[in-house]
Amino acid sequence: MTAPVVDRAGSALRQPSARRADRRAGAVQGRRRLTGVLLVLPALLLLGTFFLYPLARTVVMSTFTWPLLGNRAFIGLGNYLEAFGDQAFLSAIGFTLVYTLVVTPVLLAVGLVLAGLVQRRTRAARIFQTVYFLPVVIGLASASYLFLFLWQPVIGPTTNLLAGLGVLDVTTNLFGDAVGAFVVVLLLVVWKTAGLQMLLLLSGFQSIPQEVNEAAAVDGATGWQRFVHVTLPLLRPTLALVLVFSVAGSLLAFDQFYILTAGGPDNSTITAVYQIFRSSFIQLDLGYGAALSLLLMLVLGLVSAGQLLLLRNSDHS
């Protein structure tokens, strides 16, 4: 993702230096560079104040016991050592990983099916694209409050619908047990984000030259064979991207669990970000929260690196 960008910017840098023929051009060039610096300045000011400085501070804070009120003390790697023995944190990590491992393939499969369905260049297909993408623009929090209502026992419309079909009892409270709550969250996330996966995969499909598929068809490949042996390999960069989107999104899950389950029942649906939130803003142990944040960042960094590696490999093949 970054490599071509850097190359282009690099060549743009070299170009002007060749033009330094006379002094006037040099002065113009100098003023142009100064303008460039000035134009970037507001962005750097914001990113510095609200991103890089807090980031550096996270690192420092993670080596302190840092209660919101009261005395702080340097404890080195103490917070990290505590984290590795903290049952609540470890089970939050475990739950987040399970959640990610379940959500990712489901989202990918649904996204692929939707993309395959709306791939045609007809008016009807475009309308279906618009419909399937619609939930993506709705906030995850609003969608969660909507699903909270849909699945309420006794009064929830979906609960009533399924009870009418004989699937479950109308008094069933899915939020009351870990598996039921997980299923509702899964349905919510699929409803809310499969459209995004569809869109990205669709643009991946469209970047595959038509001739390749036609050639395979002429050679007698069935639809499924063409999909597995032609489409999927050529789709690899897009697949890597889509996977990272859903993996990163799942590892950072918070809103849906905060709203739908409040981490319950019995703290069984506490995610990593939720645990950081609880450490920092409920137990008010900011240093410990910072250490957990850095551990989470490390995991996400590894995922991003994995993505870049996947993308790079596909460039060479």
Partner 1 sequence: MTATSAPPVPRASGASPSGAAGRPRPRGRLAEVRASMPRAAWAVVCSALAVLVLYPLGVLVVRALTGPDGSVGLANFARLAASTGGISLLTGLGNSVFVSLTVTAVTVVVSTLAGYAFARMPFPGSTVVFFVVLVTFMIPFQAIITPLFLTLIQVGLHDSLVGLALVLATFNLPFGIFLMRNSFAAIPATLEDAALLDGCTPLQAARRVMLPLAVPGLVSTALLTFFAAWNDFFATLILINDQAKYTLPVSLNILAAGQNNAVDWGLMQAGVAVTVVPCVIIYLLLQKYYVAGLINGAIK
By CB under 8 A, the residues from 131 to 170 that bind partner 1 are 131-135, 137-143, 145-150, 152, 155, 157-158
Closest distance of CB 177 from partner 1, Å: 20
Write down the least CB distance from residue 143 to partner 1, Å: 8
Cα–Cα distance measured from residue 64 to residue 186, given in angstroms and rounded to the nearest whole number = 37
- CA separation (Å) from 14 to 1, 24, 29, 123? 22, 19, 12, 47
The residues in 225-264 that bind partner 1, with binding defined as CB under 8 A, are: 238, 241, 245, 248, 252, 254-255, 258-259
Longest dimension (CA), the chain: 85
CA within 13 Å, CB half, 206? 11
Q: Which is nearer to partner 1, 144 or 172 (CB)?
A: 144
Could you write out the DSSP letters of every residue in 15-44? HHHHT--SHHHHHHHHHHHHHHHHHHHHHH
Helix 123-133 × helix 87-117 angle, to 10°: 170
Q: What b/e readout covers 244-263, taking b as 16+ CB neighbours within 10 angstroms?
A: bbbbebbbebbbbbbbbbeb
By CB under 8 A, name the one of 25, 27, 34, 232 that touches partner 1. Answer: 34
Contacts (CB under 8 A) with partner 1, residues 69-108 = none
Q: Give the residue with the Cβ less far from partner 1, 35 or 313.
A: 35
Site string for partner 1, 273-312 (x = CB under 8 A): x--xx--xx----x--xx--xx-xx--xx--x--------
Is 18 a binding residue for partner 1 by CB under 8 A? The answer is no
Q: Interacting stretch for partner 1, rule CB under 8 A, among 73-81, 87-95, 97-105, 121-129?
A: 121-129
Q: How many residues bind partner 1 (CB under 8 A)?
A: 101
For residue 125, with 0-12 CB atoms within 10 Å meaning exposed, 13-18 middle and 19 or more buried, which class applies?
A: middle
Site for partner 1 in 178-217 (CB under 8 A): 191, 195-196, 199-200, 203-204, 211, 214-215
User: For residues 52-71, which are near partner 1 according to CB under 8 A?
Assistant: 52-55, 57-58, 61
Rounded to 10 degrees, the C-alpha dihedral 274/254/267/300 comes to: -60
Determine, following the binding rule CB under 8 A, whether residue 313 of this chain makes contact with partner 1.
no
